[in-house]
């Protein structure tokens, strides 16, 4: 998606015409539900898919929301620059979201930031912003030098009751909360509550500095999201892929667009919009994307094999239906000029939804991914992580313990299995 110069001129005129009202009442978020608009100057450094408020896999703050509280969140960028901006999403909010203060800084340790780097974030020149339900707002540029693989801390003060919060459940990174306004704090003493989810923050973009060639998006479910990698380790397979690219002298921004439990063909109140529905905003709308690694379908195969409330909807999805879904994702990527790399599904014998039926589907799907020729390239995660003594199982050295998700060594093996030339 490209914005024409005429649209940019009109947008600037709109901001200028409303500047007085914005300064007096706080900025109103401009509706752009697919995230920040792409321009030639801004590029992705970090992004995460947004989800409906839910109880998630561990306690989080999404269903209760916030009131007179400050949320501090830490993200690791895989691309650097000299200026930064963020996007805040109220996609699934039922009420207007009011942010009275926001800051960004380089992370020091835990909830503390490097004091000399803390910068206020403004929205259309105002310190505050109000975002309508279903919309998003992108901040103005803040002068902040970030290096690739450095962590940035974004802090939001939420003065009014927000209602349930748009969030990303499985962040595997510690987020912090304090009562009152602590957006400008450089220390972490006030931030006494923690979870491992991200709230409202969907994108961090940078400009200036060295511009890497082509962004890679890892798209999928909990195995892409990083279940089993550990909190605050940055050891998900997309993290390790970015590390590997840099070590090879071919640095690339790698964005993680995984959602735990995500389905190819069905929306889920717990596990996000379907892969088909969210692909446009979580892949195509990100600036500079040149390739996407698609690892999806394991939950479509497995949910129908067991009856748990969290695994609803769980209709039986056929191999043909999933292949049709893969073809739709490939077509969407190609229409946007993005190379589509297909990833085979991991073995899962011993997992809770492994049955003869689900195992047969996995074998057929993987055969199609490997041999159909419809993807631009294939990465065989199944072969890389299978137990040589029993290919239906994850190798014990790569098993997190649930026989379905890799551990840290398994995620390293996944990153190592990707032929960097295909990216």
Whether residue 315 is contained in a domain is answered as: yes
Residue with tokens 């509550």: 193
Whether residue 5 is contained in a domain is answered as: no
Give the three-state DSSP class for 73. Answer: strand
- 280 and 387 belong to one structural domain: yes
Residue ending a domain, choose from 171, 205, 239: 205
First to last CA, the chain: 21
Q: Which CATH number does the domain housing residue 355 bear?
A: 3.40.50.1110
Whether residue 386 is contained in a domain is answered as: yes
- 179 and 313 belong to one structural domain: no
Residue 107 has phi, psi (to 5 degrees) of: -75, 140
- 81 and 229 belong to one structural domain: no
Residue with tokens 């993680």: 256
- 269 and 354 belong to one structural domain: yes
Find the helix or strand (DSSP H, E) in which 392 lies: strand 390-394
Residue with tokens 């993200």: 75
At residue 308, the pLDDT reads 84
At residue 210, the pLDDT reads 82
- 261 and 377 belong to one structural domain: yes
* Cα separations in angstroms, 415 against 140, 274, 313, 387: 35, 25, 31, 18
Question: Which residue range forms the structural domain that includes residue 304?
Answer: 212-422
Asked whether 97 and 105 are in contact (CB, 8 A), the reply is no
* Cα separations in angstroms, 80 against 20, 86, 212: 34, 14, 9
Whether residue 18 is contained in a domain is answered as: no
Task: Give the count of domains, the chain.
Answer: 2
- Residue 344's nearest CA partner among 370, 326, 325, 320 is 370
Mean pLDDT rounded to a whole number for the chain: 91
- 359 and 277 belong to one structural domain: yes
At residue 30, the pLDDT reads 44
At residue 40, the pLDDT reads 59
Instruction: Tell me the pLDDT tens digit for each residue of 316-338.
Output: 999 999 999 999 999 999 999 99
Instruction: Tell me the pLDDT tens digit for each residue of 12-56.
Output: 332 333 232 333 334 444 444 555 544 558 999 999 999 999 987
Q: Is 200 left (phi over 0), alpha (psi -120 to 50) or beta?
A: left
* Cα separations in angstroms, 372 against 294, 338, 343, 344, 364: 15, 19, 13, 12, 11
Whether residue 36 is contained in a domain is answered as: yes
Q: Which CATH number does the domain housing residue 97 bear?
A: 2.60.120
Residues of the chain with confidence (pLDDT) below 70? 1-40
Whether residue 67 is contained in a domain is answered as: yes
At residue 90, the pLDDT reads 98
Give the three-state DSSP class for 391. Answer: strand
Residue ending a domain, choose from 183, 205, 227: 205
* Residue 300, both tokens: 């479509």
At residue 314, the pLDDT reads 86
- 31 and 58 belong to one structural domain: yes
Omega before 313 within 30 of 0, i.e. cis: yes
- 226 and 142 belong to one structural domain: no
- 69 and 140 belong to one structural domain: yes
Whether residue 239 is contained in a domain is answered as: yes
Residue ending a domain, choose from 142, 177, 205: 205
At residue 36, the pLDDT reads 57
- 249 and 177 belong to one structural domain: no
Q: Is 172 left (phi over 0), alpha (psi -120 to 50) or beta?
A: left
- 255 and 347 belong to one structural domain: yes
* Cα separations in angstroms, 67 against 164, 165, 404: 11, 11, 38
- 50 and 161 belong to one structural domain: yes
Q: How much is the pTM?
A: 0.90
Whether residue 12 is contained in a domain is answered as: no
At residue 209, the pLDDT reads 85
């Amino acid at each position: 998606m490209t914005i024409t110069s005429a649209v940019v001129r009109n947008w600037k005129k709109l901001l200028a015409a409303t500047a007085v009202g914005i300064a007096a009442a706080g900025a109103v978020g401009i509706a752009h539900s697919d995230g920040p608009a792409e321009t030639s100057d801004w590029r992705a450094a970090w992004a995460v898919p947004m989800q409906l408020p839910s109880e998630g896999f561990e306690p989080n703050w999404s269903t209760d929301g916030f009131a007179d509280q400050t949320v501090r969140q830490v993200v690791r960028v895989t691309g650097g620059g000299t200026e930064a901006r963020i996007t805040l999403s109220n996609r699934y909010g039922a009420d207007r979201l009011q942010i009275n203060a926001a800051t960004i800084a380089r992370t020091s340790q835990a909830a503390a930031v490097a004091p000399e780097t803390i910068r206020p974030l403004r929205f259309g020149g105002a310190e505050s912003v109000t975002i309508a339900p279903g919309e998003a707002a992108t901040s103005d540029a803040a002068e902040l030098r970030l290096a690739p693989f450095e962590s940035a801390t974004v802090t939001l003060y939420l003065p009014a009751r927000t209602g349930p919060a748009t969030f990303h459940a499985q962040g595997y990174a510690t987020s912090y909360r304090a009562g009152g306004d602590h957006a400008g704090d450089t220390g972490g003493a006030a931030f006494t509550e923690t979870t491992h989810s991200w709230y409202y923050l969907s994108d961090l973009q940078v400009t200036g500095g060295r511009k890497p060639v082509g962004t890679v998006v890892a798209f999928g479910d909990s195995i892409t999201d990083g279940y089993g990698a550990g909190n605050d380790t940055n050891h998900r397979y997309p993290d390790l892929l970015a590390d590997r690219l840099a070590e090879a002298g071919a640095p690339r921004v790698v964005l993680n667009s995984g959602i735990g439990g995500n389905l190819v063909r069905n929306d889920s109140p717990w596990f996000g919009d379907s892969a088909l529905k969210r692909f446009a905003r979580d892949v195509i709308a990100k600036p500079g994307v040149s390739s996407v690694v698609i690892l999806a379908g394991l939950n479509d195969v497995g949910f129908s094999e067991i009856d748990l409330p969290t695994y609803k909807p769980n209709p039986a999805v056929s191999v043909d239906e999933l292949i049709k879904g893969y073809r739709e994702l490939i077509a969407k990527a190609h229409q946007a000029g993005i190379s589509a790399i297909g990833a085979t599904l991991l073995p899962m014998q011993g997992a809770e939804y492994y049955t003869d039926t689900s195992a047969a589907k996995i074998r057929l799907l993987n055969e199609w991914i490997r041999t159909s020729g419809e993807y631009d390239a294939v990465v065989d995660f199944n072969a890389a992580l299978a137990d040589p003594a029993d290919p239906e199982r994850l190798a014990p050295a790569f098993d997190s313990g649930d026989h379905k998700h890799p551990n840290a060594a398994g995620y390293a093996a996944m990153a190592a299995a990707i032929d960097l030339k295909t990216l």
